[in-house]
């Protein structure tokens, strides 16, 4: 039987466990360009960043600007801004990607799956009917249909028009 290979070399960084130095949600003011960091939006209260290792096309992370780990430590204003931004992000993703639904939530703590447990963030994952197929079931492989930078450039103008 011939062995088939699905190449995904960009996943090597994730699999090897290498992470960016510091917190991805606390980017220094002078560093890599927002496009390279996949930052779609930032103001003084909230940040929207594309997941570099997405579960699905359009997987976004929404975080408070303040470095805080616990849900109960967020201020009312931070909670409100995260939820307002998630509402705006859903509108944008519905318009651009036309998903059938969304998974939205927080992974609180490393054991719950938080890749960055020291900085709370909301996961927003677009879903399509049939987006989970035999690859995910048999080999834990997911197919992402669009390159991250291509999608970033498509989404970026919409996020720049947001006023919270």
Active centre residues (catalytic) = 121
CA distance 126 to 54: 10
CA distance 56 to 74: 27
CA distance 14 to 5: 19
How much is the CA Rg of the chain, to the nearest whole Å?
A: 16
């Amino acid at each position: 039987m011939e062995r088939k290979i699905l190449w995904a070399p960009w996943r090597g960084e994730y699999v090897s466990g290498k992470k960016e130095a510091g917190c991805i949600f606390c980017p220094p003011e002078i560093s890599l360009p927002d496009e390279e960091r996949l930052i779609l939006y930032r103001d003084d209260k909230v940040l929207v960043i594309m997941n570099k290792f997405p579960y699905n096309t359009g997987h976004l992370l929404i975080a408070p600007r303040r470095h805080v780990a616990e849900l109960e430590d967020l201020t009312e204003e931070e909670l409100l801004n995260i939820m307002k931004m998630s509402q705006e992000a859903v509108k944008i993703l519905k318009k651009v990607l036309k998903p059938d639904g969304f998974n939205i939530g927080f992974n609180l703590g490393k054991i719950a799956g938080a890749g960055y447990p020291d900085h709370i963030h909301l996961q927003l994952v677009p879903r399509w009917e049939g987006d989970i197929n035999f690859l995910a079931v048999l080999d834990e492989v997911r197919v992402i249909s669009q390159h991250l930078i291509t999608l970033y450039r498509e989404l970026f103008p919409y996020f720049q028009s947001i006023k919270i």
